[in-house]
Amino acid sequence: MRHTNDVVVIGGGLAGLAAAAYLGRAGRSVALVEKAHAPGGRAATQESRGFSLNLGAHALYRGGAAHRALQELGVRFSGGAPPGSGAFALDRGVLHTMPYGALSLLTTGLFGVAEKIEVSRVLGKLASVDAAPLMAVPVSTWLQGAFRSPAVRRFVSMLIRLSTFCADDERQSAGAALEQVQRGVRDGVLYLDGGWRTLVDGLRDAAVAAGVQIVTGARAEQVELQGGEAAGVMLAGGDRIRAGAVLIAAGPRAAAALVPGSPALAGYAERAVPLRAACLDVALSRLPRPRLNLVLGMDRPLYLSVHSNVARLAPEGGGVIHTMQYGPERAGGDAERALEDLLELGQPGYRDALVERRFLPSLVASNAVVTADGGGFAGRPGVRVPELAGLFVAGDWVGPEGMLADASLASARAAAEAILARRALDRAA
């Protein structure tokens, strides 16, 4: 069976859905193929017994590229911003009040007097530091040179993990990490009512309304080439979709596997170091400590957040908590036990209220670290695959803007624009 479209999009995550919607709105005929039985990818949300659990912790940066793209595409969502109160830092097994203002900094037992003075200066100046000169500098090198106290260095490293999901200070670009921290400090983040499925549903509806054909349960096996150009996609089972352009909205290894003759994609796949997280997500019938909102590990790469305290994710009186160990392959030890201990510390007796429990030992939080060796964002590939006309990529590892969902939707928009420009040239010829 053969079908013909202007564009085929491979992958039904946020990037693929957004790019398809942009292209459909511009009048192009678009087919989107997704191997799973429903779109969404890592943005999917599990619904059970009135609880909404994302695949690990998710937060939408207000004012970022993802926020802008969602508004452009008419995707409606709501949610709440996590407060500074009820936040704690875990250091050497002890919970300390997280310093988020003058009073909390004065009273926390996390720092000594000299360290409190340095942290006060850090919090006051962090938002205004110029990140550009630090793009080729590793986080570890910047921390060592910028802060005198080891405790303050650990504190800033903790903030970077929270913002970037990356615990690899030796490899990550300090400039890219600092930009992400600054975006969070400046604009804040949202936990979304109903979970991230609201974004998936909204983008799917925008794509369908724009005439996009979404085909689920269809695995793309290979991008077909003709005369050095992308000419379509072959699906498992033998179906082919012919097209004038192909957009791969998947990770770098998946992209390289789809186009085995592409040295550029093979190189991207070889260089990309994925960000992984061990995640323990739980739904509780009640919260033992309802006023506790956040626990961040300062000496260990740990995270706990009660997302249901600000977003509608649970029935009345219930709670949804996401915990993570960043970089479990680097942290070592028993990640599941570490997260269970973290839950018990933050919400003592949580097992007595347990409704749902899900452990993900190695979730890919992002497909590639933004590296100092690559010069920060400048080292990421562009949306055009250089040696093959008509072939494009999008995702959280692509383009010069943002991280995580911001990178996904910024590259989706840029890829759609590049495809539309090429098609305009084709028609003019």
What is the model's pLDDT at position 3? 66
What is the model's pLDDT at position 429? 37
* Cβ-based neighbour number of residue 290 at 10 Å: 14
Closest C-alpha to 299, from 180, 84, 184, 153: 153
Give CA–CA dist 409/207, Å, rounded. 14
Q: Are 409 and 14 in contact (CB under 8 A)?
A: yes
* Cβ-based neighbour number of residue 180 at 10 Å: 26
What is the model's pLDDT at position 131? 96
- Please give the average per-residue pLDDT across 369-381, as a whole number: 97
Q: Are 348 and 80 in contact (CB under 8 A)?
A: no
Q: What is the pLDDT of residues 39-57, one digit of tens each?
A: 999 999 999 999 999 999 9
What is the model's pLDDT at position 423? 61
What is the model's pLDDT at position 348? 98
What is the model's pLDDT at position 212? 98
What is the model's pLDDT at position 102? 79
What is the model's pLDDT at position 173? 98
What is the model's pLDDT at position 428? 38
Burial 368-385 (b: 16+ CB within 10 A, else e): bbbbbebbbbebbbbbbb
What is the model's pLDDT at position 331? 84
What is the model's pLDDT at position 126? 86
What is the model's pLDDT at position 125? 85
Q: Are 30 and 213 in contact (CB under 8 A)?
A: yes
What is the model's pLDDT at position 427? 47
Residue 417: pLDDT over 70: yes
Decide the pairing of beta strands 319-326 and 189-192.
unpaired
What is the model's pLDDT at position 209? 98
Q: Are 223 and 264 in contact (CB under 8 A)?
A: no
Write the burial class of residue 38 (CB in 10 Å: 0-12 exposed, 13-18 middle, 19+ buried). Answer: middle
Q: What is the pLDDT of residues 249-285, one digit of tens each?
A: 999 999 999 999 899 999 999 999 999 999 999 999 9
Q: Are 17 and 32 in contact (CB under 8 A)?
A: yes
Q: What is the pLDDT of residues 100-121, one digit of tens each?
A: 877 888 889 999 999 999 999 8
Give CA–CA dist 170/108, Å, rounded. 29
pLDDT band for position 414 (cuts 50, 70, 90): very high
- DSSP string over 306-325: EGGGTSS-SSTT-EEEEEEE
Q: Are 79 and 387 in contact (CB under 8 A)?
A: no
What is the H or E stretch that residue 18 is in? Answer: helix 14-25
Give CA–CA dist 56/36, Å, rounded. 19
* Bridge partners, 277 (sequence order): 326, 363
Give CA–CA dist 329/332, Å, rounded. 6
Residue 61 CA to its chain's centroid (Å) = 10
- What is the token pair recorded at 345? 């510390």
Please tell me the least confidently modeled range out of 9-13, 119-123, 412-416: 119-123
Share the mean pLDDT of the chain. Answer: 95
Residue 142 CA to its chain's centroid (Å) = 24
Residue 426: pLDDT over 90: no
- What is the token pair recorded at 421? 């420009």
- What is the token pair recorded at 235? 């699906």
Residue 364: pLDDT over 90: yes
Give CA–CA dist 259/254, Å, rounded. 9
